Structure 1
Amino acid sequence: MFDIGQNDLAGAFYSKTFDQILASIPTILLQFEDGIGKLYDQGARNFWIHNTGPLGCLPQNLAKFGSDASKLDEFGCVGLHNQASRLLNLQLHALCKKLQGQYADANVTYVDIFTIKSNLLANYSRYGFEQPLMACCGYGGPPLNYDSRISCGQTKVVNGSTVTVKGCDDSTEYVNWDGIHYTEAANQYVASQILTGKYSDPPFADKMPFLLKLKF
Structure 2
Amino acid sequence: MFDIGQNDLAGAFYSKTFDQIVASIPNILVEFETGIKKLHDQGARNFWIHNTGPLGCLTQNVLKFGSDPSKLDELGMCDFMLSRKKLQGQHSDSNITYVDIYTIKSNLIANYSRYGFEQPIMACCGYGGPPLNYDRRIVCGQTKVLDGTSVTAQACNDSTEYVNWDGIHYSEAANQYISSQILTGKFSDPPFADKMPFLLNLKF
Q: Same fold (TM over 0.5)?
A: yes
Number of residue pairs aligned between Structure 1 and Structure 2: 203
Distance in 2, matches of 1:176 and 1:71, equals 20
The structure with more helix, counted as a fraction of residues: 1
Distance in 1, matches of 2:127 and 2:70, equals 25
Q: Is the 8 A contact 2:183 2:196 kept in 1?
A: no
**Structure 1 residue 33, shift from structure 2 partner:** 1.2
- Structure 2 segments unaligned to the other structure (5+ residues): none
What one-letter code is carried by the residue in structure 1 that aligns with 2:72?
L
What one-letter code is carried by the residue in structure 1 that aligns with 2:50?
H
Q: Is the 8 A contact 1:107 1:207 kept in 2?
A: no
Matches within 5 A, 1:178-193: 178-193=166-181
Q: 2:130 aligns with which of 139, 142, 146?
A: 142
Distance in 1, matches of 2:76 and 2:157, equals 24
Query: TM-score by structure 2 length?
Result: 0.89
Of all paired residues, the percent bearing the same amino acid is 71
Q: Given the superposition, is the C-alpha separation of residues 3 and 127 from structure 1 closer, same or farther in structure 2, using an over 3 Å criterion?
A: same
Matches within 5 A, 1:20-169: 20-79=20-79, 81-82=80-81, 85=82, 88-89=83-84, 92-93=85-86, 96-97=87-88, 101-169=89-157
**Structure 1 residue 131, shift from structure 2 partner:** 0.6
Q: Is the 8 A contact 2:184 2:193 kept in 1?
A: no
Other structure's SS at 1:61 match? helix
What one-letter code is carried by the residue in structure 2 that aligns with 1:15?
K
Q: Is the 8 A contact 2:163 2:173 kept in 1?
A: yes
Distance in 2, matches of 1:215 and 1:110, equals 21
**Structure 1 residue 115, shift from structure 2 partner:** 0.9
**Structure 1 residue 39, shift from structure 2 partner:** 1.7
What one-letter code is carried by the residue in structure 1 that aligns with 2:180?
S
Residue in 1 aligned with 2:15?
Answer: 14
What one-letter code is carried by the residue in structure 2 that aligns with 1:55?
L
- Structure 1 segments unaligned to the other structure (5+ residues): none
Residues 177-214 of structure 1, C-alpha deviations (whole Å, 9 max, x = no match)? 00000000000000111111111111113655774564
Q: Is the 8 A contact 1:136 1:176 kept in 2?
A: yes
Distance in 1, matches of 2:180 and 2:17, equals 36
